[in-house]
Amino acid sequence: MVMRKLLEVELVDERRSASKERSRNFEDVLVVGQPRQISLQNLAPSQSKFVILNTSGEVEIFTSNGQIIFTQTPISLEQFSEITLLSKTFSDQIKDRSLQIIFQDDNGRQLSQVQLKLTGVRVCLDIDADRDGVIEENHPRKADWKWGMNGHGAVLLVNSDRDIVYSEKNDSEERLIKGLLDLKDFSFMIIRKAGLRDLPSGYELDLSVNEDTAKRIRIYDELDRDGYELIGPGRTKAKIRDTDRDILLAIEGLSYPDVDFDGLVEITLSLVKDKKSLYSDRVIFRVAPWIMTPNTLSPIAVFVSRLSNGVNKEFIEELRKVVGNANAQLDIIPFELHQDDRWMQDEIEIGYAQAPGHLMYVVLDSPRDRGLVDFPKTKLLGIDFGYVTRKSRYEATKLDSFGNLEVSPPVTVKGVHYPFGRLIFGGTRKEIITQPRRMLKVLRNFLYAQKIQAPFEIFSDWLSVGHIDEFMTFVTAPSDKGFKLLLASTEQFYNILNRLQQQGHGHVLLRQGKRFSRGLADISVVDVLEDEKLKEDNHRFQEYINWNREVLKQELDLSEEDIIELPALFEKDRDGRAETFSPNMVNMIVLNQHLGIPKPFGPKIDHQCQFEAYVKGVLEPLGLVCHFIDDWEPYFLGRGEIHCGTNTRRQPFTQKWWEVEPTFV
């Protein structure tokens, strides 16, 4: 709300000519419920000592401290140099009320008279400021935004889905409203306007935003049959049509929060005369952030590519059983949508955005752009399924794939609660890596700007592929935290082999019956243990895992009891980075209590794989069910595993993001 002085320039000019003009007439508009200040000192002739105020129509007069002034009684100008006018009702005719101001000298002689013709209009801009799905009238905190259960401020979705299936554009790329399906993705505002259809001559009602905000939103007059935008990119202001009724406006977001956009959208309604704002009403929206879902949320659908040579046919059938046990749907993607790109996890991350009364799944598309490049827009983008990506002029590296992006379950760290978990992505350590790689800045900026999941960076550049899902994941657990962190452990791998050798099983084979392109993959327990170079490399790789372990403990407030180690081994590539030695069990798919785990092909004693036995021993007491799936040929030989080759859409959080307390945002 803006309280203003009445026509300052004109009033000063009138004062200069007061000696020549003993009677002056003005006209103006009063906005219902909005106080208007008038400087009597500016209107008064120089010898004025007293003033008499007379009103007609429903206009009240107050002093600066809020006391009502009674009319037709002389009052001292020294005591009342300013007055405030207030109209509680709107006019049904132009200039149907007035204020007469008579100035007198010490002797009560009239010096001059000012006649102010007034028109009362009722106008304000309203939003769903308390986030209950209803647009309140003149909510006192509509021009502010506050997080929390008792917070306030409206929420705005980025309209990034596609409600018309044959359209080639996202809804946010269109410049008109396309129908009822599109409207549900909008937020709404109401311009409360009553009384006169047409404002007095010279007055206009404008809706406006600044130039940066205009890039981020589109506003439509929902009753406009053409449905074209009032405000949007390149259009910062719009004149509101003449009407004596409330006006419903639809608003959509075009941009998620990012490094150059904090997500706050300010919109102003102004009463304007001669290009000068006489009154303004302001509202604030916050654009809903993109939220990623952790493994602890229930799965809805699992996506996997069906490779053209049939190499993953048996894998898919085994995966189908696990997905079915978790009451989810397996969605098999045909060749034309993946071009034999098997790394489904690397191409996308599926999250969501939410506003009161509406939720939209949103796929974050990585900049890797290989065979699955068309999959997100062709398969996923649709009704209530949005799309967002971040591109860069710099070439994407392996660290820009989304096997390198995870999110923890909800945690509390040093008294700060993160009800949506924390985003985790892999980066580098320049003091260790000679040719460092890091996730693109545009991606990192996007993740940090969402705020709600408070990202942090760990060290993945020690890996050839460079993805954090090669050494960590989360599973549900009946513990205080509700989950366990699983970490790859070369020490556990060697512990199991050392035990077998001590028991006289040094001749037992790992990777038995499997092949590399160069020949058989078989290797004995003793051969692994006697490979000093392999042992030395894995000692170094374990140090990197341990460094990450400490960061994860600190950033997620984990104790050693919250961490479970799974045996894993790596071997050095040409650049000195790590590649997996055998199928990496930590790279699993988590579907409720069901775990789809890469079959490790470890040493067998009495027909029992000792790696599988170890994993069952540490995970099944938690109520988890281990399903070991052979992914050797379709995934392991390509330097990936089950998690790399699949992607999961999950149920959203039950808590609303705007209800969180602002301790970390």
Q: Is-catalytic flag, 609? A: no
Distance between CA atoms of residues 424 and 426, nearest Å:
7
Half-sphere exposure of 283 (CA within 13 A, CB side): 28
Catalytic residue, from 124, 609, 626, 644: name it.
Answer: 644
What is the dihedral angle through the alpha carbons of 509, 515, 519, 523, rounded to the nearest 10 degrees?
-10
Q: Report helix, strand or coil for 620.
A: helix
For residue 548, CA distances in Å to 63, 67, 140, 368, 443 come to 67, 67, 48, 25, 21
DSSP string covering 213-259, please?
HHTTEEEEETT-TT-BEEEBTTB-EEEPPP-SS-EEEEEEE----BT
Backbone angles phi and psi of 586, in degrees to 5? -70, -20
Closest CA to 454 of 429, 419, 414, 482: 419
The one-letter amino acid code at 479 reads: S
DSSP string covering 362-377, please?
EEEEPTT-STTTTHII
Contact 591, 328 (CB under 8 A): yes
DSSP string covering 64-99, please?
TTSPBPPTTS-EETTT-SEEEEE-SS--SSTT-EEE
Distance between CA atoms of residues 218 and 176, nearest Å:
9
| SS3 letters across 163-186 | CCCCCCCCHHHCCECCCHHHHCCC
Contact 267, 636 (CB under 8 A): no
Distance between CA atoms of residues 377 and 365, nearest Å:
9
Distance between CA atoms of residues 18 and 23, nearest Å:
9
**Active-site residue list:** 644
